[in-house]
Structure 1
Amino acid sequence: MYRKDLDYLKDSKHLLLLGATTLAGTALGAVNVSADNVYTVQEGDTLTGVAANSKIDLQKLADDNNISADSYLHVGQQLVIKTQDNKEDANVPSASQAIQQAASSSSQASSSSSSSSKDEHKSSSSQRKQESKKDENKKDENKEVQNALPQLESQLGHTLNNGQCYGLTAWYVQQLGGPQLMGSGKSFAQDIGTDYDWSAYGWSVKQYPSIQDIKPGDVINWEAGGALSPGIYGHTGVVVSIDDKGNMTTIEQNAEQGQVAAKYNRTFDQTRIKSVVHKDATSSKTTDKSEAQTTTQNDASKDQAQKQDNNQTQNQTNGLSAADAQAKEWIAAHESGGSYTAQNGQYYGRYQLTASYLNGDFSPANQERVADQYVASRYGSWSNAQSFWLANGWY
């Protein structure tokens, strides 16, 4: 049967011949059994040992060979090996069974390898999809900021709002749907990070950030008293780019190039940075859903604001020289951010006058009239009042 199986495999060009032959030989063990189940005694063999290796009863082996169980064996002696009921031991596979087992093992190994390969392919494909999705999310993360920065750059050389650094940041934040900075009654640039509820508008604040915390598109706010902000208000701008060493390109206003939006090269440690304010990513679905409504509202608001600005400007500058009108605007921006409703303790309105001065009438018209009277009686002109303010921090 063993030879027949080998011939079958040879004729079938089966590739498992060598492995099966080895397995069959191993399965038959140390007992040298021929096709006729006859074992030739080797040096050192005992009847007990042959019986044990053949997995048959010692007495049965002796009876099958017409010898006693305690007989001595000699080299070359042949012993007939018969299993119980003249059948092959169920625990010892035949050559045919050994070959089939080898083929089955090879098939299982091949199947396992194929399955493993498929799993690896699926895992790799899934990982690529996840990485692709991450890249896509990263690309869209600051889509609004990516759109807002070019808009800000288009304003280079122009004066935004009141010409102060605060005015530029207010303009930029408004483009991104943030809180209204102008007219809020706040005017300290160094406190922009804490003066507003940024989280309500989808922004996040990092106090005293590291280089790694600062990203393009962030509002950057420097502390007062540094090289960039020698006064009491601090300084603010917008980050255009930053490298891993803290070298930044920013857009600022009311800096070395005057009261216009301009680009500057700054370093991280040039002046202590008190905070950066970052516009967080928003869902594209939410953005698309509200885009049309926001555009309509913005157009209407701009028209109304323009009319109000025209009326207020006319009221504020009536009878004033160009220099005094500019000085008046400068003081209003520094006192209240230009807001008629700003309040700080007993001081109220655009020019931060005491309530007693206004005599209970907080209307814009009365604020303008009383402010003009106050400045004329105390300083003689708004230009003189501005000079005093610059020297003392109040007027």
Structure 2
Amino acid sequence: MLELQRKNKQSYFILRKWAMPVEQYINILIVLLILALFVERFCFAVVVYKTKNYGLDLVMLMMIFNSIFLYFIQRLRKKKHKKRLHELYNIDRTPRVGLCAISMIGLVDMLKAFFLIWPANVIPLWLLISLLQLFIPLNLMLRSCCIEEVSHKWVHWLMSLVILAGAIYNMFTMSESLANPETKEDYQYYSVMILISVLLDVVSHTIKEVLVRSQPLNQEKFNFGVSVCQVVIVCLAMPFVKITQPQATDNSPFADEKFDKMPIFEYAKYYLVYGFQCLFDVGGTETIENNMGECQGSWIYVLGYTISLFVIQLNLNSIMHHKFTRKAQLVYSLIVPLTFLAFLLAAQDIKTIDANNVSFSHFDVVGLLVVGLGVFVFNLFPEKEQRASIEEDF
């Protein structure tokens, strides 16, 4: 009976006159989800190379765009017509997530983005793909330790170990594929930064899940509040950007000796101005400040990245609302080949990409295949039934 009701149920795509069976509607959303995931990864890979000297400016612009889109998401949220249990009995269930908690999550998310974008244009693309999948085993472990009544199937634990083994294998065999093996130590250092980013992502995800399970939250408003805090925190961190900068190379706009002796606030002013000139194509076409013309069109890729995140969020919300979460999970089972294809095509659009970042050996292919297999099988099997948050937010 429930299956028959689901088949007969109607939904509409964007406009009410475009009504259709809900399964057809979900299939359209799945196609859009795949396209949005591809665009998100393609734009990310391109823009981190185009703006390689201005990572914190890039983080700031991404978070500003993200806040704008999250504002519209929470404005698009429909008001519920049915009263919830606590409303029927007039019980106070107002969310109690304060500014301190939201600010802490915003700080963790900002640091996660910073530790991801800083090394993303340095380490090989295939290694970046492997390391990003470490979110799965780390998230599995932290959720099991920190959240009550959460359990996982043995196949998920096994595939988490497979993903972990594949990523570690890639880290230790990278010297076989590097055009300049002397840079191996630098790449291992930047790989650790990616690991820190993934760990911060897991911590943020776990904190949010704990809050959602224990509070009757409006998730869209909560996410918007976190995003605004991220923007504020990155603005407060901007004056101290000089402390985070590595030794300037000859092709860096900060290679001049005057920047070494410059006070941190004055340095931050130049960093902010140069960065936004690069992001918005202001100034000369081929100057060292705009990465010898490579900055051209950067803002388009930033906008494409944030719009794709916006589409992904809306699609996932709608797919989960109609109880078709398994279809989305199957899409994510193919995330490794999808990301590899997006990064490979992005590399063709980046003129200044180093040979080390795109070259790979058969060792790297083996490691990436192991990671991809682990991610595929992990998502192929449905999770155990979990206790949801205090109230279903549908």
Compute the TM-score of the two structures, normalised by the length of structure 2.
0.19
Larger radius of gyration between Structure 1 and Structure 2: 1
- By percentage of residues, which structure has more strand? 1
Relative contact order, CA 8 A, sep 6+: which one is greater?
Answer: 2
Compute the TM-score of the two structures, normalised by the length of structure 1.
0.19
